[in-house]
Structure 1
């Protein structure tokens, strides 16, 4: 028995875990189609199983469209596949639903929104009228929930506020948060106790699933950055990994993730003339003194990700010697 709740402008879907033999969950595939196929082959998905993808199929990699098409085809063939919207799908929907999206106006937005499919820019998509060909994707994505839950498990893209009821979660939180919400576990509401929570969004730069607590796991293995894709079968708690033949050095992964987070959370709040990105090194060089607000954003960013990057974070932000 499954049901859909629309609360606080957030679509939430309830499932019965007992309806499925196995339940697999993965996240943040980001256009890595070959890794996705490898994972499907590895888990040997059956029609009695359920696969939950918790957001961010698109962007970064070159084959986002192929993954969406594969998912649709699997559903039509009778496989149980459920998809939760990620922040990249949310941005994609906004762009596809507008003939000339407002966020396309700035250079930063162009950078952020230009690689959904096959490395074409948004301008090229508009010029070639390719948006008309994927209106079906808009319809499908708009019907996808932001949270899926059952009696034992909750699946969400970015995270939750454990002090707020599931039906009252904010869209911004479930799509975008990078807060360490698991540290609130001891003060959480009753409805979250004894439930496993699976989330993605924040990449684990070691390419492995991260056990935040006994019940809360971050499953974004940074597929685009690390070339690793992780998956959990939630009933057995088995972790499954696939990887590309090409390996990538940890420092290179770390620098790529750092720049992604910088562009997402800091870049638009600091005058672009006051810093430069050292090409190929993933380093931010501060060229001029920052004002009070800019310093605040930089300090908060540093504190927020110091645990993720460890001592490496000090290598990524440097002040130019004047």
Structure 2
């Protein structure tokens, strides 16, 4: 089976509970559509777990890019403050003070090689995985956001995105977040890492479009 998750944001317990719920095995594949790190303290261990697994695949999210912009070889002026403002302090401290220099180099090298979008065909259905929005612009691919009335961004292909908590698309702030289905686009960011009591981790199985929540 082929599964998608997004925006783990350091919530290790939810991630492992989800793997148990879907009975994830070595015969399955998992695609995480960006933002494994930041906000909660488990981001670096989650990265290392994904790095070590042959059947787990990570796409670049804006939080991984902020990490690279701060600690990578081509650091960007002002990126540390932007990253801190977006919950990056826990990841920064772990990489600098807990990881060995070699572990830190391995993680940054891994992040620097991540794709920012991916095409998948499951059965007879085509999918485009991207953290923010499908686009020719790399910045928009990790920072862009859909709106409720966004027309289908791709022809003959369903886009699966994260980045935007689905409550901003449904307008429902007072109930547990759920996967949002738009016109040719599906948002699976159900608020992990945020303070809301209604946040959940979602998982979408692409073989039959079954939805799972923790």
Query: TM class, shorter-chain normalised?
Result: 0.7 to 0.9
- The reply on whether 1:91 has 2:66 as its aligned counterpart is yes
More RCO (CA 8 Å, sep 6+): 2
Q: Matches of 1:181 and 1:173 in 2, distance apart?
A: 17
Q: 1:177 aligns with which of 144, 151, 166?
A: 144
CA RMSD of aligned residues (A): 2.6
Deviations 1:233-291 (A, max 9, x none): 0110100011xxxxxxxxxxxxxxxxxxxxxxxxxxxxxxxxxxxxxxxxxxxxxxxxx
- Gap change, CA 1:200 and 1:100, over 3 Å in 2: closer
> 1-side partners of 2:80 and 2:203: how far apart?
37
- Please list the CA deviations of residues 31-87 of structure 1 after superposition, one character each: whole Å capped at 9, or x if unmatched: 001000001111112222210000000010111111112212322xxxx11110000
Unaligned residue ranges in structure 2 (runs of 5+): 168-175
In the superposition, the TM-score normalised over structure 2's length comes to 0.82
Give the TM-score normalised by structure 1.
0.56
CA shift, 1:112, in A, is 3.4
1:256 maps to what in 2?
Answer: none
Q: Is the 8 A contact 2:166 2:190 kept in 1?
A: yes
The structure where helix makes up a greater share of residues is: 1
Q: Tell me the SS of whatever aligns to 1:120.
A: helix
Question: Secondary structure of the residue that 2:110 maps to in structure 1?
Answer: helix
Choose 1 or 2 for highest CA Rg.
1
Q: CA deviation at 1:195?
A: 1.4
In the TM superposition, 1:116-265 aligns within 5 A as 116-117=90-91, 120=93, 125=96, 128=97, 132=101, 133-151=103-121, 152-161=126-135, 169-180=136-147, 183-185=150-152, 192-205=154-167, 206-213=176-183, 215-225=184-194, 226-242=198-214
- Unaligned 5+ segments in structure 1 are 1-21, 162-168, 243-322
The 3-state SS of whatever aligns with 1:150 is strand
